Structures are given as structure tokens and as C-alpha cells.
Amino acid sequence: MAIQSINPANGELLRSFAPLTGDTLQRKIDLAAKTFLAYRQTPLEHRTLWMRKMAAILEHERDEFASLMTAEMGKPFKAAQQEVAKCAVACRYYAENAARMLADQPVATEAASSFTRPQPLGVVLAVMPWNFPFWQVFRFLAPALMAGNVGLLKHASNVPQTALEIEAIVRRAGFPRGVFQTLLIGSSQVEEVLGHPAIAAVTLTGSDDAGRAVAAQAGYLIKKSVLELGGSDPFIVMPSADIAAAVKTAVRARCINNGQSCIAAKRFIVADEIFDDFAQRFTDGMDRLIVGNPMSEDTDVGPLATPAIMDELHAQVQRSLQAGATLLTGGEKLMGKGNYYEPTVLVAPPAALVQQPSAEDRAATAVFREEMFGPVAVLYRAANIEHALALANDSSFGLGAAAWTRDPGEQQRFIQELEAGSVFINAMVASDPRLPFGGIKNSGYGRELSSVGMLEFMNLKTIVVA
């Protein structure tokens, strides 16, 4: 089956590619393995120079790369520009800090000398998603290449041009041939590649089903894996919060990247005494969003990436209404060409608010514990902080969480008790090259970014000299 690039704004076929097979695929894997043997010995100063050059390319050609992303997966052009710029920041961060991260770490023992030394594992397979087609790759690529690993990218099949462009950027920056290669293959071929003896580790960002499949194989093969999977992030608002700031951030947090983000706020848990005020302001904010051509500077929400994603989102909205949710705004596909969906606000029914639901109630409200990938928000009414925490943690996911309160005691409770890889107080959940990023529960394991992310694909070798 061909790998196709289709513009989600109008359904136009942009390009079509035949997937790699047989000897062609084998040669790319062999090249990666051979390249690693030499590349791991490359002086860090050389890698630093190439990484800085890559940052400069991203900055100087930002608009061209942003246009490509927008054409392939529909994110608003201004958001795509910001994504490219963030990739450049990550490249510069690792160029400036890799020497510190990779330095020997002395440990006091009875020996004459004892320390740890991180060393690269080898060829890392990166299975990446379409929603942030540059950032998801660069947050793996920058630390992996600076550490001396080499990468093979299996990108999402709807962004093949972006995948090839990223490989070209790496080569233009000066990195040796074979250090980073794109594999235009289908999902069914991941098992074959991961099973190749040359592959040392795998990182995957995607659905929990994809994560289970890759983790099972990696576990059987005893290969290191890092998973960043789905999320159904809570956004909690307590009575002491700055309501105006919370509402403004909530609208952005729900609809960033057209609502297609693992760390987008999806469940809005609001204290009962301010619920009506928040709901009205939030709904007004969602209604003011401009849905349209993603290349327009005025557009807030562009098309969803594929027709299947739009259809699944609409089905979830319909099931929510059947389960008793109240529709405040939206709830429909937009007519005409393109995968456009109205910004939508739902209010969860009483059955979804029970702290210890019966099996019957839990089954009837299952849709409210699913991840909705698009501009659809669900509001929950919380009686108090205990109820808010119970609702927030009643999820199989544990990626990020945001809590809005000016009460120091409440802040500490949210920091301590929210079950998530990241907790943001009075701010929107976001990734930052300086901070570890990842989740717990069905949101995956392992961390990306910061020194922690770099060390995920390294052998932390213990050295003792008597």
C-alpha cells in the first residue's frame, strides 16, 4: 500500500511513495549499524558544531518547514512556525549542555577511583506520530545524536514529506551519512525492523495500543524502550483561581494543535461554586475561535489530520450525549471540503461525577474516560478538592495535569496527589527541553528531554579502579 501525503484542508493528494521493502530496507539498517561504529568515536566538538548548524537551518528556513507541516497535517501555520522554532531551541540546548550531561560522574568509594560514564547504545528506532511532526522527532533526535547514538525514523504514514525533510536537514547540518535515516514503511513493518539484531532500542510516541505492541516485542527481545502514549489531562480550577486567566489558558490548552495533542487539557474539573461562571466564559471563548484555512494568520483551529480522526471524534461526542452529557456549543462536523470540526463543549452527566461508581455506572460513562483527539472539551462539576482529585485520577492515563488555585495548601495537595508525569500549577502543561517529559499508567514509561531523556538510550557504565 502506498504511503500518501494528503492535505487535510481539502483532501488533495500531495505526493505518494512506495514503502521500502526487502534489500532496500536492509541496506538502510546495515548502514546505520556500520555508521554507529565510527560515529560513537566522533569528538563531541564535531557533534556540537553540527547541532548548532542544524539549529541555524531550522531558524533560517522556518517558514518553509512550517508550510510543509501545515500542508501535510493541518496545524495552523503560526503554530507550525512556533514548532520549528522550538526544535531549534532544543538543538541549541543540547549543543550547549551535552558536555556536562555526558561527563564522568565521580562517586566516593573506598577505591582509588570510581565513577559512572554514559556511553551510547547504538541504533535507536524512533516510531513517531503526525501531530507534532517536527517537534516529536527533534526531541528524540537532538539528545540521541549528541550522545553518539544513531537513529532510524519510522514516521507516521500521513507525513512522509516531513519525514524526508528532517533527514535532509540532518545531512545538510554536516552529520555523517547514515547517522539519521527516514524509513518510509508501514506500521506492519515495524515488527520486522525492531526485530533486526542491529536495533539496540526503540522509542515510540503514539496510541496505547501501538505502545503495547512495541513494548511486548521489545521486552521479549530485551531491548530498551521508551513510550510516550496517550493522555486525558485534567485541568482543575478551584475557587481561589484567577478565573479570567484560567479560562483564557483553558481555551488555548484544549485547542492547541487543533486539539490533537497528548498533553492538551481534555477534562475540565471545576469547583461547584464557580462552575457556572467558568462554563459560560469558557464556552464564549470556544465560540470565538476561528475555524478555517490553516495557512491564514487569523485561523485558530484548522482541520483534523484525517477523515478517520474526525469521524471517531464525532462518534465520541454522540456517545457522550447518549450517556447524558449536555451540549453547550458545537458538536458537529463542518460542511464542505476538509476535516473540520466545531469547537465543542460538553458537560458531564451526574453519573460521570460519582467518586466510587458502580460497575454499571462506570460502563455507562466509559466514554468520559477516553482520550478525545480534537477540539472537544468536557466540563466536570467538583464538590471540593477531594472530589476534584478523585475525578482527575479516575483515568487510565497519567501524562500531564494542570491545577489552578492561589491557595498554597491546595497547590501542595495537587503537586503531591495528582497521578501524572507532569503537574503545572496556574499554567498550561507544556514540554520544555530543560525538563523531563513523560507519563505513568497507560501514558507510558521512560522520559524524554533534559539530561534524563539523553540518558535513556545510554549505558551508564560503572567504573572502579582499585
DSSP annotation string for 206-247: S-HHHHHHHHHHHHHHT-EEEEE----EEEEE-TTS-HHHHH
Q: Does the annotation count 228 as an active-site position? A: yes
Give CA separation, 311 vs 146, 158, 230, 308, in Å.
Answer: 41, 17, 18, 5
Which one is catalytic: 87, 91, 255, 262? 262
Closest CA to 345 of 358, 364, 361, 331: 331
Residue pair 351/324 in contact by the 8 Å Cβ criterion:
yes
Q: How far apart are CA 195 and CA 410, in angstroms?
A: 48
Q: How far apart are CA 386 and CA 107, in angstroms?
A: 43
Residues facing residue 400 across a β-bridge? 422
186: amino acid identity, one letter:
G
Match 500521513 to its residue by C-alpha cell: 158
Listed as own residue / partner, the contacts of 245-252 with beta carbons closer than 8 Å and 24 or more positions apart are 245/404, 245/426, 246/278, 246/404, 246/426, 247/278, 247/281, 247/282, 247/285, 248/285, 249/402, 249/427, 249/428, 250/282, 250/285, 250/377, 251/282, 251/285, 251/286, 251/289, 252/428
Which one is catalytic: 83, 165, 228, 448? 228
The contacts of residue 174 (CB under 8 Å, 6+ apart) are 49, 50, 53
Catalytic residues: 228, 262
